[in-house]
Structure 1
Amino acid sequence: MTLSVQQRGGVFLVAVVCLLVLGICAPFSGHDWQRVMQIAIGACAVLYGLSVARVERLVNRPTAQGLALIVVLGLASAMLAHQPLWALAEVALFVSCGAIAVAFALLRRHGGERLDRALILIVVLLCLIKSIQYLYAGTLAFASAERTLDPDLLLSGFSNKRFYGQFQTFTLPLLALPLLIPGLSRSLKAWVFALLCVWWLIAIGGGTRGTWLGMGAAGMVLAVLGPWGRRWLGWQLAALLGGLLLYWLVFTVLADYLGIAVANGASDRLTTSLSGRGPIWWQAWHMLTERPWLGFGPMHFADIANKIAAHPHQAVLQWASEWGVPSALCVALLAWHGGWATFGVLRERALSAERADLLRLCLFAALVGALVQSMVDGVIVMPNSQVWLALVVGWLMGLHVWRTPPTVEMPLAWAAWKTLGVLAVGLLIFIAARDVPHIKQAQQQYLDAHGGLLQPRFWAQGVIAR
């Protein structure tokens, strides 16, 4: 029996949800597991794309040409890199993220508004599971005989609390959507608002300043996008105050009452320090100036060992130093072009209370927050963040309102894109099959030789320097 396009889309969505739940909520989850999850989602996206014979255009011609130029420049940079296979793996990650974005765009375009409801239900489910895990861990911590409590230890499912914060930057804006929808019952909105308060409590307790910065920037942008944008900001500020109140009650009032000292409190993060980013930013800058045209090669910041990180925690410096300045300019122009087009649609439909328009508003807030956070954090590096970035971009593509009716894509271009996706995912599967069976041993050897902590990039031990 042949499945319809919508049925194949449903299978793809179910597979993605299962992988996301396992990758984010499983107790054994971490960076390496989430990378495997990302590769699996990329494979599902490519298979879904292969099942679609002809599609209406998802991007305009200049955008398609810009993406093709980025891939070509990336391949040229990879061929000249010190370790071409790792450089090609980074290009393959870029292509697989593009395949994921295209799959979500096709899914939304074929599934319509019911897929919007499914997306928000998935976000609520994931945030609810993570909130229950956090509250359960907090209950156990307060009930134990320990006299010191570290809120960082209450976070689970991520190798680093900053990666958890990146996930929250994507989901905090989306979690506010049910509060905006007219006609939704007050009791349901009350439960969603309570969940949003707890989600802010976790964001405050986690102390990820990049999340605070990204949400602040998103709030300022949405404040100029009409009454619904300001209403979104009002709900977020109310939930932030609720989260602050919960944090004070739990980690100050209750902790003092029980005689428990709190280590690594949120107030300790209220600094302007760069947290060690200065040296790695300088390293990226020197790489950029030494090889400005094609860079050192994708992923090759990790080929120059340092004691801090395998990526510079700054998206522009990372792309320019590894892929070259022309490629970085092309990426920046495409990001501006896509963002400005979405901004224009939001301004035109600022008074609309349609669910699709409200979802577009929340997705745009998530995109702005993530892009701002990428200026100080590894949003474009971490596997779970890459998947969510592709999801947000893809869904916005599926929702986009074209000024002229979209035409059917050229068959040759669509066939070339599908072929590229197959090659990219094939390479990633090869690398995973090669490395995963020995990954724990390789990590231990690195720790024995160098000490300290692992530096994530492709894998949790992300340093590729020999």
Structure 2
Amino acid sequence: MTSSVQQRGNIFLIVVMCLLMLAICAPFSSHDWQRAVQISVGLCAVVYGLCLPRAERCVDRSTALGVSLIGGAGLVSALLAHQPLWALTELALLISCCATAVAFSRARRNGDESLDRVLVLFVLLLCTVKSIQYLHAGVLAFTSGEAIVNTDLLLSGFSNKRFYGQFQTFTLPLLALPLLVSNVARPARGAVFALLCVWWLIAIGGGTRGTWLGMGAAGCVLMFLGPQGRRWLGWQLAALACGLVLYWLVFTVLAGYLGIVISNGAVDRLTTSLSGRGPIWWQAWSMIIERPWLGFGPMHFADIANDIAAHPHQAILQWASEWGVPSTLCVIALVAWAGWSTLGVLRERALSLAPVDLLRLCLFASLIGALTQAQVDGVIVMPVSQLWLALVVGWLMGLHVWRAPSVAPVPALYRVWMAASVVAVGLLVFVAIRDVPRLKERSEHYMGLSNGHLQPRFWVQGVIALEMQ
């Protein structure tokens, strides 16, 4: 591997990490800003791919064929949709996410284990900054003299606390990695554990039940993945217990002592209600029944206006209603196949203490948590979640151990893939240039027509129904 190829990968990762930092930690961050950052990352990924020699395989040929079939069916569905341009935009977004995942995979495969340490340090930095922001907001709220503290206002950088929770679902599993690696100094280990406790405090205070569900599912899976999986679970449970104690001390004991009433506390979220998901799940199901083969078109759940959301908060229902049942079954098969392949590597190396194997374990936990949360939340919709999904999947691809010798991709498929990536990113840039100058006007217009509740999808005002624009 030439040094120039490694340097290009390092430059790509540095640029992307800077963009992610701006997307998540900037005080002015919003859904629309994060979408613009996502498009920028996709552009960087495509440019990086064009700067490299022809790739060795990232996936096997069966997977490549499956992805091609999904893309082809999506293209047909988009062209037949009510609003083809928006449908093609959603298809372009999917291709951009795949290109980003491939770029992460190639950067890691062209590099070495030092990139793994950079990734973990980056996650630690992100979570530290967000924790400081949360604690600072908490201090200001408790010392402001106000009689009521709304815990939702302590969360910054995201348009909705559920989006914050999705970010935590991706990062909570990764924060435990330094606690599993044997050569980490005790003071550093203590600092990381303290950060993990605070991160759990925020996850509890945020009240995102999807995060709790996702982490529970990840814990149930890792419990059966050998001693390192159980160590991971032990650290997470210990941090969860500390987070619960911290939450009780701050939002019950201290708040009671100061005479402060806590609004939107975690206790309020201890329910089994669907929080309005029932009607939108039923809408998605009705769309599936009406058009089972190709769906209504990508993004076209948002073309049928409702008073709740522009997506059904359920990944399978969303894909089936917009892309069709055959495409959904193909996606499920690919996810199951990829998960089973990764699970096989994890089981083979269950006793390994090598940092790369421990990172693979944590990334797999992150993926399990996100896929679980996607069944009750918009993980496959929100820009930061899509970026982190691409990062986690791409890094796992880069770490994957192939059982068969590596072979070059089929030349024709490779050329089609690169052309599709360029066209997709070009379309996304066009949509951004077209829409960004009038995003505020568009949102205000929708707010005047609706009940004042924005429904994020591509932009924060995500409803594309013609009568609502």
> TM-score band, normalised by the shorter chain?
over 0.9
Q: What is the CA distance between 1:145 and its match in structure 2?
A: 1.1
- Range moving further from structure 2, 256-265 or 356-365: 256-265
**Residue aligning to 2:84:** 84
Q: What is the CA distance between 1:413 and its match in structure 2?
A: 2.2
For 2:103 and 2:441, the matched residues in 1 are separated by 36
Q: Which amino acid aligns with 1:430?
A: F
Question: Where in structure 2 are the equivalents of 1:377-456 lying within 5 Å?
Answer: 377-456=377-456
**Residue aligning to 2:335:** 335
Q: What is the CA distance between 1:3 and its match in structure 2?
A: 7.9
**Residue aligning to 1:263:** 263
| Segments of 4+ moved more than 4 angstroms | none
Kindly indicate whether residue 113 of structure 2 is the aligned counterpart of residue 113 of structure 1. Answer: yes
Q: What is the CA distance between 1:417 and its match in structure 2?
A: 1.1
**Residue aligning to 2:316:** 316
Q: Which amino acid aligns with 1:304?
A: I
Query: 1:92-137 deviations in whole A, cap 9, x for unaligned?
Result: 0110000000000001001110110010011000000000000000
TM-score by length of 2: 0.98
**Residue aligning to 2:197:** 197
| Structure 2 stretches lacking a partner, 5+ long | none
For 1:365 and 1:17, the matched residues in 2 are separated by 21
| Structure 1 stretches lacking a partner, 5+ long | none
For 1:84 and 1:410, the matched residues in 2 are separated by 30
**Residue aligning to 2:174:** 174
For 1:139 and 1:236, the matched residues in 2 are separated by 26
**Residue aligning to 2:139:** 139
Q: Secondary structure at the match of 1:149?
A: strand
User: Contact 2:169 / 2:369 at 8 angstroms: preserved in 1?
Assistant: yes
Kindly indicate whether residue 286 of structure 2 is the aligned counterpart of residue 274 of structure 1. Answer: no
For 2:303 and 2:54, the matched residues in 1 are separated by 41
For 2:379 and 2:446, the matched residues in 1 are separated by 24
User: Contact 2:104 / 2:398 at 8 angstroms: preserved in 1?
Assistant: yes
Share of identical aligned residues, percent? Answer: 70
For 2:95 and 2:205, the matched residues in 1 are separated by 35
Question: Where in structure 2 are the equivalents of 1:25-104 lying within 5 Å?
Answer: 25-104=25-104
**Alpha carbons of structure 1 residues 431 and 3: separation in structure 2 relative to 1, 3 Å:** farther
Question: Where in structure 2 are the equivalents of 1:2-13 lying within 5 Å?
Answer: 4-13=4-13
**Residue aligning to 1:325:** 325
For 1:405 and 1:169, the matched residues in 2 are separated by 34
- Range moving further from structure 2, 450-459 or 197-206: 450-459
Query: 1:428-462 deviations in whole A, cap 9, x for unaligned?
Result: 00000000011001100110121321000000000
Q: What is the CA distance between 1:411 and its match in structure 2?
A: 3.0
User: Contact 2:12 / 2:48 at 8 angstroms: preserved in 1?
Assistant: yes
For 2:90 and 2:409, the matched residues in 1 are separated by 27
Question: Where in structure 2 are the equivalents of 1:13-28 lying within 5 Å?
Answer: 13-28=13-28
User: Contact 2:61 / 2:409 at 8 angstroms: preserved in 1?
Assistant: no
For 1:445 and 1:413, the matched residues in 2 are separated by 44
Q: Which amino acid aligns with 1:230?
A: R
Q: Which amino acid aligns with 1:70?
A: I
For 2:183 and 2:15, the matched residues in 1 are separated by 31
For 1:320 and 1:108, the matched residues in 2 are separated by 33
For 1:293 and 1:417, the matched residues in 2 are separated by 24
For 2:365 and 2:314, the matched residues in 1 are separated by 20
Q: Which amino acid aligns with 1:236?
A: Q
Q: Secondary structure at the match of 1:27?
A: coil
Q: What is the CA distance between 1:13 and its match in structure 2?
A: 0.7
Query: 1:181-232 deviations in whole A, cap 9, x for unaligned?
Result: 0121111000000000000000000000000000000000000000000000
Query: 1:133-154 deviations in whole A, cap 9, x for unaligned?
Result: 0000000001101011111100
For 1:346 and 1:11, the matched residues in 2 are separated by 30
Query: 1:386-444 deviations in whole A, cap 9, x for unaligned?
Result: 00001000000000011112112233322221111000000000000000011001100
For 2:73 and 2:410, the matched residues in 1 are separated by 23
Q: Secondary structure at the match of 1:4?
A: helix
